[in-house]
Amino acid sequence: MRFAKIDWALAGVLAAMAIGVTACGSSSSTSSSSVPTSIGSGEGQLNLVAWEGYAQPEWVKPFEASTGCQVHAKYAGSSDEMVTLMRQGGGSTYDMVSASGDASLRLISGGNVAAMNVALVPEWKNFIPQLQSPSHNTVNGVHYGISLQWGPNVLLYNSSKVKPAPTSWESIYNPKYKGAVTVPANPIQIADAALYLSKTQPSLGITDPYELTESQLNAAVALLKQQRPLVKKYWTAAADEVELFKNGDAVIGAAWPLQTNNLQAAKVAVNELIPTQGATGWADTWMLSAHAKHPNCAYKWVNWVSTPKVQAEQAISFGETPANTKACPFMEQIKQGSCVKYHANAPSAYFESIKFWKTPVKDCGNGKTDCTDYSVWQKKWTEITA
C-alpha cells in the first residue's frame, strides 16, 4: 500500500534523525566544514520558490540592480508543492525556497537543502532569539537556512455582511454562513480544526494541534466534513480568496494577512482577527538547495532580505512579523503604527502563543508513537474535500 510505505519512510527519517542526535551530540562544530566561508561574485541569476507576495518588485528590483542577480520567482500555494518543486529535476531547478516549518524538516531529512553559514549573514545576530536557531531549520546545531518572517493565520470576514464581528473560529463551522465560507485547500488545515477543538472540547485531550492520535484526528476530520457543505471554495492561491471576497461569493474564511491587505487596498470592507482560540501560523526560512546553481546570488539574497529595511518592507506588504528586531523603526517610517500592528516589538509571549506549522509525525513528543503522520492527514484531506 502506498500509505503504509510513507509510514515506514517517515519512521526511517525519525530513526535517522535520532541516530544523528546521538552521533553528533559531542561535535556540533562540524557544521562549518562544508559551508562556504565567503561570498563570491554573483552568478547573474537566482531562481526562487516562494510564497505569493515574497518576491515583490519593491525589494527585488533594487536587489537585481545592486547585485546583477536576475530573480525568477515561482509562487507555490502549499508546503507540499514547495517540497515537490525543490525535488524536481534533481533539485537544481531552483536555488532557494521560502519554506515554512511544515516543509523545512522534510527538505532537510530528504537531503534537498544544504547547510548554510550564518556568519555570512551579519544581520542574523539581530534576529529574535527564537528564530536564530529554531528547531524547524536547525538540526544538531547545523543551520539549514536563514529565518525570514512569521505570522498567524487569521480569520478574515466581510465587515458589512458579518455582524456582529466574529470572535471565534466557530464562525467558519457555523451553518449561518453556508455557501459563503472559504478555507485553504491544504491538508495542514486539519490543524486549524484541531486547535479549535482543543479549546471547545477539552475532553478530547488535544494539547498540540499537530500531534493528534487517531481518535483526535477523527474528531477534527468529522468537524471538517461537517464544514464541507458550508464551503464555497477551497482556495489554492491567495488571489483566489481575494476574488471570492471581492465578488461576494465568500464572506468569511481562513486567510493570511496578505489577503486582508490586498482587499482593503481594493476598498473592500473586510477585517481580520486572531480569534479567542488562538491561531496556527508560519515561521518561514530561506533555504538553499543542495544542488543550487547560483549559491553566491543566494547568499546575497538572504543578506538583502535580512536587512532591517527590506524586512520592514516585506512585513508591511504581506502583513507579517519580521525576524529582524531592528526593523521596527523602518516599519514606522513606511507606515505609522505598523510596528505595533504587526507585533514587531511584541514580547516573546506573543510568539509562543502561535501554533506554528510543523509536519505531523508518529512521534508525539511524549515518548509515545501513536500519533497520526502527515500521509494519514493527506489521505483524510482527500476524503474530506473530494
Give me the residues that bind another protein (CB under 8 A), please.
1-2, 5-6, 9-10, 12-13, 77-78, 80-81, 83-84, 87-88, 109-111, 179, 228-229, 231-234, 236, 243-244, 247-249, 375, 378-379, 382-383, 385-386
129 forms bridges with which residues in the sheet?
none
Closest distance between another protein and the C-beta of residue 349, in Å? 35
What the block records as the C-alpha cell of 114 is: 544544504
Closest distance between another protein and the C-beta of residue 9, in Å? 4
DSSP 155: E
Q: Which residue shows C-alpha cell 464572506?
A: 251
DSSP 354: S
Distance CA 117, CA 81 (A): 26
Closest distance between another protein and the C-beta of residue 376, in Å? 12
Distance CA 202, CA 217 (A): 14
Under 8 Å CB-to-CB from 127, ≥6 apart: which residues? 147, 306, 323, 324, 325
45 forms bridges with which residues in the sheet?
70
DSSP 113: B
Q: Which residue shows C-alpha cell 508525539?
A: 364
Closest distance between another protein and the C-beta of residue 339, in Å? 36
Select 293 or 379, whichever has its Cβ closest to another protein. Answer: 379
What the block records as the C-alpha cell of 320 is: 507579517
Closest distance between another protein and the C-beta of residue 32, in Å? 26
Closest distance between another protein and the C-beta of residue 52, in Å? 15
Nearest 5°: the CA angle 272, 274, 278 is: 160
What the block records as the C-alpha cell of 360 is: 505531523
Closest distance between another protein and the C-beta of residue 382, in Å? 5
CA distances 253 to 116, 117, 224, Å, are 37, 40, 13
Select 168 or 378, whichever has its Cβ closest to another protein. Answer: 378
Under 8 Å CB-to-CB from 315, ≥6 apart: which residues? 149, 321, 322, 327, 331, 338, 342, 344
Select 198 or 227, whichever has its Cβ closest to another protein. Answer: 227
Q: Which of 79, 109, 112, 106 is nearest to 94 (CA)?
A: 112
Closest distance between another protein and the C-beta of residue 334, in Å? 33
Helices (H), 201-281: 214-227, 238-246, 257-265
Select 288 or 331, whichever has its Cβ closest to another protein. Answer: 288
Closest distance between another protein and the C-beta of residue 26, in Å? 27
Select 39 or 185, whichever has its Cβ closest to another protein. Answer: 185
Select 236 or 317, whichever has its Cβ closest to another protein. Answer: 236
Sign of CA dihedral 371, 356, 350, 219: negative
Select 106 or 343, whichever has its Cβ closest to another protein. Answer: 106
